[in-house]
Structure 1
Amino acid sequence: MLYERFAEVGFDDAEDPEDQLEACITDHKRLLELFQTVETFISVSMLIQFAVTGVNVCISVAGVIFLFNDPMTKAYYFFYAAGIILELFPICYYGTDIQICFGNLHYAAFRCNWIKQNRSFKKKLMLFVERSLKGSTPMAGGMLRIHIDTFFSTLKFAYSMFTILIQMRK
């Protein structure tokens, strides 16, 4: 929404373009503060969730394939593994979405009507563009990005552990 709002700056003659720009910059600062606040309290728990998800998926799949013969137990552990995977996916999806949205914000600056504006407006716009170029990626424990790539890496980790279990079984 900020992207769309920012792209409209300077086209509405009823409002002052500098006031519109300052309002967008203020909202961007608030969004970054909210982002940092949320990242602070989910960081460690997400790191733990990535590790636990990999281990639980591996154990569940191994149980379905090697340990359990009862169809209901197999179904239970299959759906348990699917539930764990589906629990992690939306968080990673929205982490990627946040990174993309913040990453594209500087393009909105070039869509606004900056050419016809005064020097003060252009200086503020340049400062905003420079600030928006800094990436904002949510991190888990300061080590892993909360990102779709990390989601698939977690599944690869579970598969790697599963192949180790198969090798140990032989």
Structure 2
Amino acid sequence: MDKYDWRANIKMNILVLRFLGLWPKGDGTYHGFYIFHVTFMMTTFLMGHLFFQAANIYFIRTNLEAVTGTIYVLLVESLVVFKVYHLIKNMGMFKQLLRILDTEMFQPKNNTQILAINETVRVWKTIYKSFLYTCFGTNMFWAIYPLLDKSEGERRLPFLAWYPYNTKITPLYEITYVYQIVSVSFITTVHVNVDVLVAALNVFNGTQFDILCDNLINLHNLDKNGTLGVRENLITCIKHHKEILKFAERCNNFLNWILLVQFFIFAVSIGITMFQLTLVIPFSTEFYSLLTYGMAIILQIYMYCWFGNEVQVKSNKIPYAAFQCNWVDFSPEVKKNLIFFIMRAQKPVKLSALNLFYLTLDTFMMILKTSWSYFALLHQVSSRK
């Protein structure tokens, strides 16, 4: 049976990150021209864009509507800095996780297992494409709504920002306009591809439990050499389970701080986005930009929570899969080992953010409820003025 290529599913994401300066070749170390490349990209299109937006908050600090109009985007854009730092810092570990997937123990053993993997990957690709289209749909609305909105009778930029020159005159206005769109497209591309790669790791983690469950159910069919073959196969399954748990722990170590900061920022950003929707003209271009932006953030949270929840659900199936095998004809020693394994596998794998909250659908609903609370607070403060 041909070796399954896990990387083929994320090949495009890796190529995009390599172009952006975030995926060096080899063991993950940055050296030579690539250091200059990543420094230029991050400084020009990330840090520069964030600085000009953050500086503008000082000049509009007394205007609640203007401040929220900047912060709801600035918070999510600032999150990219945090993600980039952790991706660069843990690049070696990230690549090691991909190498582990290529080992024999993590490979599917039959066509049924490959079909299960492909089905999960298909769901991942569907969510990925929906997330991608929503993000760049948001960018498109951001790019065109200042050109269509003539209500203020002056030139507007897609984002509120301060610059040390007059952005109302040609060609500085056009240059600044293009710079903002290119910068936010760069930031969006980093967001999408990093989040999709992390989700893919959770997908691969979950599919390992699918493989293990299938191996356990067919424990007596994996080898035709009788009881001795069953015993060896059970030992292999136990070792596989231990390696999956180690893989999940390493994934969680990479996710810990990213999830903690990201979920807090997303809860605030969704609340502010809903508040902004109450301030703009309904069904205008700016309205649709805010709407698609909110949908993109919700999809982003959902992608993390859904596939984290899938890891928990699939890991919880292991004891049942072990019980489904034809254990009646096993030797007493094998039965004893099988019982011990079932007892050890009772605790499902839960991915978490520093053990404060878990990647589950319940957490997704909790974030949405928190966002609504932020929205209600802002709406109440604004209505009193």
Structure 2 length-normalised TM: 0.42
Q: CA deviation at 1:141?
A: 2.1
Aligned counterpart, 1:69 = 281
1:113-159 CA distances to partner (integer Å, 9 max, x unpaired)?
11111122112111211110023111112100111110111011001
**Where do residues 1-170 of structure 1 align in structure 2 (5 Å cutoff)?**
1-11=211-221, 14-15=224-225, 16-66=229-279, 68-69=280-281, 71-170=284-383
Indicate if the aligned counterparts of 1:102 and 1:136 stay in contact, CA closer than 8 A: yes
Alignment partners' CA distance in 1, 2:309 and 2:364 = 11
Unmatched tracts of structure 1, length 5 or more: none
Indicate if the aligned counterparts of 2:350 and 2:359 stay in contact, CA closer than 8 A: yes
Alignment partners' CA distance in 2, 1:64 and 1:167 = 15
Alignment partners' CA distance in 1, 2:251 and 2:313 = 17
Give the direction of change, closer, same or farther, for the CA distance of 1:13–1:2 in structure 2 (3 Å limit): closer
Alignment partners' CA distance in 1, 2:265 and 2:335 = 49
Alignment partners' CA distance in 1, 2:302 and 2:223 = 44
Q: Which has the higher contact order (CA 8 A, sep 6+)?
A: 1
1:16-68 CA distances to partner (integer Å, 9 max, x unpaired)?
101111111111111100000000110111111111111111111111112x3
Q: Percent identical across equivalent pairs?
A: 26
Task: Tell me how large the CA RMSD over aligned residues is.
Answer: 1.4
Give the 3-state SS of the residue equivalent to 1:115 in structure 2.
helix
Alignment partners' CA distance in 1, 2:223 and 2:249 = 35
Q: Which of structures 1 and 2 has the bigger CA Rg?
A: 2
Give the 3-state SS of the residue equivalent to 1:14 in structure 2.
coil
Off by >4 Å, runs of 4+ in structure 1: none
* One-letter amino acid of the structure 1 residue matched with residue 259 of structure 2: M
Q: What is the total number of aligned residue pairs between the two structures?
A: 169
Alignment partners' CA distance in 1, 2:258 and 2:222 = 45
Q: CA deviation at 1:12?
A: 5.1
Indicate if the aligned counterparts of 1:42 and 1:140 stay in contact, CA closer than 8 A: yes
Alignment partners' CA distance in 2, 1:8 and 1:52 = 45
Give the direction of change, closer, same or farther, for the CA distance of 1:65–1:34 in structure 2 (3 Å limit): same
Alignment partners' CA distance in 2, 1:88 and 1:42 = 13
Indicate if the aligned counterparts of 1:11 and 1:113 stay in contact, CA closer than 8 A: no
Give the 3-state SS of the residue equivalent to 1:157 in structure 2.
helix
Give the 3-state SS of the residue equivalent to 1:69 in structure 2.
coil
Q: CA deviation at 1:7?
A: 0.5
Alignment partners' CA distance in 1, 2:305 and 2:233 = 33
Give the direction of change, closer, same or farther, for the CA distance of 1:12–1:72 in structure 2 (3 Å limit): closer
Indicate if the aligned counterparts of 2:215 and 2:222 stay in contact, CA closer than 8 A: no
Unmatched tracts of structure 2, length 5 or more: 1-210
1:82-108 CA distances to partner (integer Å, 9 max, x unpaired)?
111111111100111111111111001
Give the 3-state SS of the residue equivalent to 2:329 in structure 1.
coil
